[in-house]
Amino acid sequence: MPIVERPFDSEAELEQWAFANLEQFFGKCLVLGKFQITTPAGKVSLPDGLAFNLLTREWYVLEAELLKHGVWPHIAEQVTRFVVSLQSQDTLRKIRDRLFEHVLESGKQQEFAEILGVDIGRVMQQVELFVE
């Protein structure tokens, strides 16, 4: 899929397009939707989601923003807040716990174990190490 510049009518439309094409940017990922993350100083942020590529053991904060919101007054401030939030052990624990919930609720522990190359009894340990 070639990336082309085109206008989006709304941030929701951009977000929908970005999530539909996520694999083109980050590979096959598990995506968790919006939830609050917090800086050590207590400032709250709500990214559009988190993407976890278990094969490459990388994860990403997802945020779709229209340029018309302004780079410095809005976008840079938001990205900075995300970066600072990821320095918080509380935020990392929230992300870890959210990923734990997904693994358990999906019933795909064996699939996760195979992707991570571990015994099923070590899946949660590897998920924790993955987030850290």
pLDDT in tens, 83-120: 999 999 999 999 999 999 999 999 989 998 999 999 98
- Work out the pLDDT band at 82, boundaries 50, 70, 90: very high
* Structural domain containing residue 127: 11-131
**Does 117 fall in a domain?**
yes
Based on the structure, what is the number of domains in the chain?
1
2 in a structural domain: no
How does the average pLDDT of the chain come out, rounded?
90
Quick check: is 3 in a domain?
Answer: no
Q: What is the pLDDT of residue 1?
A: 57
In a domain, 47, yes or no: yes
Residue 32 belongs to some domain of the structure: yes
Phi, psi torsion values for 57, nearest 5 degrees: 55, 45
Given a contact cutoff of 8 angstroms between Cβ atoms, the answer to whether 127 and 103 are in contact is yes
Whole-model pTM: value is 0.87
